[in-house]
Homo-oligomer: A and B are copies of this chain.
Amino acid sequence: MPGAALISARCAKKSIRGYKLPSPIITFLSDFGTKDGYPGCVKGVIKSLAPEAEVIDITHDITAFDIKSAAYTILNYVNCFPKGTIHLAVVDPTVGSERKAILIETEGVVFIGPDNGLFSYVYKPSKSRVYRIHRLLYAEKNIDPTFHARDIFGPAVALTANGQHDKVRGEILKNISLLEQPVKSENQNTFKLNCLTIDHFGNIISNLNKNELSLLGIKKINQIKVRDKVFHTINNFYSEKKKGEWLVLWNSLGFLEIAVSEGSAAELLKFDANRDNIYIDVNLS
């Protein structure tokens, strides 16, 4: 946007539903990689429109098009930021199609991005308000069908940081697109888990959360099986095991995780997140 005028930032400190930050904080996650300069461009657009905002990179190394992994990753940082933070997340394989651009406000925190399941784990039906981002502001502009992060999401983030909510929030939506990631009952006492993501250290993170145990009627986990590995205990932390030893633990978000102390479980098992499963044998309550 050559010659883009600096929109007044007078209102930069306006609150998001009453939460005030000394200056607006924006987080930014994508699958763009950094080498092409695309995240840089989006940061430039935001700084052009909201000069006082601070953009904090989360990552641009989400596996290309991996919405499921991104949805999980958002959980890893969303609660670490103060109320009033605006979270921009863009993993957008169907950019340019009819998928919606949305803004979600949940308990003083704002999420902006494409409506494709990315916000599945932070959307709370009873507490979230969802808006379609309207195109009024951009109606006269030539929006690039391949780069909505620059042309729609970035400006929406900046204007929200400025408190210019009316320019961003269009139609109220009753629901959003959600990923389907249910823990499935395989038979009477066995559940089949999916892999949400393999983290940087090669830990395999399943879709079973400690919080769901009672909902699923699980009283006790007797055995965890992944490929040829069988476990009978759940550890508390990595260093309870010696270097190279295997363990299962509830990770810091409460998800069941397969790990190797100071090693990569996924690599050693040749675990494929899209194909392989984890099985647990349980006592039901």
Interface bin, chain A: 35 or more
Contact residues, A241-285 vs B (CB, 8 A)? 243, 249, 251-252, 262, 264
Name the distance in Å between A166's Cβ and chain B's nearest Cβ: 23
Name the distance in Å between A65's Cβ and chain B's nearest Cβ: 5
Contact residues, A216-253 vs B (CB, 8 A)? 236-240, 243, 249, 251-252
Residues on B with beta carbons closer than 8 Å to the beta carbon of A262 = 64-65, 93
* Complex contact A252–B144 (CB within 8 A): yes
* Complex contact B41–A76 (CB within 8 A): yes
* Complex contact B37–A47 (CB within 8 A): no
* Complex contact B237–A80 (CB within 8 A): no
* Complex contact B47–A34 (CB within 8 A): no
Contact residues, A13-31 vs B (CB, 8 A)? 21-23, 25, 27, 29
Q: Is A36 an interface residue (CB 8 A)?
A: yes
Name the distance in Å between A121's Cβ and chain B's nearest Cβ: 12
* Complex contact B36–A82 (CB within 8 A): no
Residues on B with beta carbons closer than 8 Å to the beta carbon of A186 = none
* Complex contact A33–B61 (CB within 8 A): yes
Return the contact of A37 from the options B58, B63, B145 (Cβ within 8 A).
B58
* Complex contact B74–A57 (CB within 8 A): no
Q: Is A177 an interface residue (CB 8 A)?
A: no
Residues on B with beta carbons closer than 8 Å to the beta carbon of A236 = 96, 145
Alpha-carbon distance between A270 and B276 when the two chains are bound, in angstroms: 28
Alpha-carbon distance between A93 and B237 when the two chains are bound, in angstroms: 11
Interface segment, A48-56, A133-141, A168-176, A207-215?
Answer: A48-56
Given A93-B262, A145-B237, verify A40-B65 contact (CB < 8 Å).
no
Given A41-B77, A79-B1, A146-B251, verify A47-B35 contact (CB < 8 Å).
no
Q: Is A119 an interface residue (CB 8 A)?
A: no
* Complex contact B36–A73 (CB within 8 A): yes
Name the distance in Å between A118's Cβ and chain B's nearest Cβ: 13
Residue positions of A touching B, CB distance < 8 A: 1-4, 6, 9, 21-23, 25, 27, 29, 32-45, 47-48, 51-52, 55-65, 73-74, 76-77, 79-83, 85, 93-97, 107, 144-147, 150, 197, 199-201, 236-240, 243, 249, 251-252, 262, 264
Given contacts A32-B200, A96-B238, 6 further A-B contacts (CB under 8 A): A33-B61, A34-B59, A47-B82, A48-B80, A48-B82, A146-B252
